[in-house]
Structure 1
Amino acid sequence: MLNVNQLQVGYGESNVVHQVSLQVGAGEAVALMGRNGMGKTTLLKAIIGMLPAKQGSISLDGKQLAGQPSYQRVRSGMAFVPQGRMIFPQLTVEENILVAMDRSNRSTTKVPDYVHAAFPVLAEMRDRKGGNLSGGQQQMLAIARALVTNPRVLILDEPTEGIQPSIIKDMARILNVLRRERNFAILVSEQVLSFALDLADRFLVIDRGRIVHEEERATLDQSKVSAFLTV
């Protein structure tokens, strides 16, 4: 499904991501684990097209995407929820979602029922401005905005940042339900191991821009992964 091969990304003469290869299968959830500054965000931004890659290939369902702008990658089946969420604070919850649908060429005046079923709080607060939501509610809104583009793969960058533990647990449960019901895969960068354990089928550890460890959920050595996350 999503296939990244020998991707190298950097700023000027400095390389941050060094020839990284990874795959995400249909319906699979993959967690990209690592400390701050190890290249997680840079890698995800290169995959979605927000940063240019110096070399390597990116394909989704066999379609080559390297070199294409981010909006073309979204139309090809990617969706990205960046670190910090990046909703429109002056628009209402409903307007935020409808704008995302319009940008994906799905012009409509109605938020899909599955969004309100998954995130009831967004239905309750449909007329509230995005900037007036809590951090957890803004993250739910950001995920909803991504989902209404009907992605084949949902890419999440540090979705638990600034979110209280009870909402983190709910977020993992909701994402698991949605990926089964909506048939999409997930690639998530994360430092909170408990969230990744609730969500991911497979774990990748990135250290200094290189994938240094990979393991399936069933056989995961939590202490080894935790060691990579410790400063």
Structure 2
Amino acid sequence: MGDLKGKTALVTGASRGIGRAIAQRLAEDGALIAVHYGSNDAAAKETVEGITSAGGRAFMIGAELGVPGDAEALFAAFDAELAACGAEPGLDILVNNAALNFPGRIDEVTYEEFDRTVAVNIRAPFFLVQHGLRRMRDGGRIINVSSAVTSTAHPSQIAYSVSKGGVDTLTRTLAKDLGARGITVNALAPGWVETDVTASRRATPEGRAALAAYSVFNRIGRPGDIADVAAFLASDDSRWITGQRIDVTGGSML
């Protein structure tokens, strides 16, 4: 896989799950990692400690997303932490992973739940890219985490699906706009993955078997399955790929 030494990466929602796995994998490839978290500073500290104990470099950034001024606050902390650790200013890789989901059908989702979902899942990445581009070096990488729900209909996750559909559109549009700078923009679309979000669905043997059956490999995805593809997209090996939604569901959509 590509060598990321000398690169700086920001991964949102990196305190656990897919975000943590991506942060760890990019660090293994040599990148300095900004580990963003919303509220769980203890989990974010575990991510950083896991990276540094393995010989990597990382620092924490706490910032609530989905509120006014979130991008400004996050990048102010990013700039300050970069300076504090003696790293060169700038950004090479931005991974928009942080998201939330309020399950519910069209007649169940409240205004507040819908607005919060959109604010975190699509408005925050939009403005993080806007501010990140002011720091991103030419030839950079933007990786947006979408979802399998944008390729099939999931009535019980309608708000989440709508927000992730926006992520797919943002990805394609940015790819066309930023190509002149050599910046690639791609989206990852995971299916069922072993994270805290799916823990209740995996609590029984029957539930685990049902989720595993979606994949042609008859298993549930692991965070590392997604992180390895993210590492490819972050590397120079993916230089000729942009504007794509990469299915990382283990063949669940087949």
Give the TM-score taking structure 1 as reference length.
0.36
Give the TM-score taking structure 2 as reference length.
0.34
Higher relative contact order (CA 8 A, sep 6+): 1
Higher helix share goes to which structure?
2
Higher strand share goes to which structure?
1
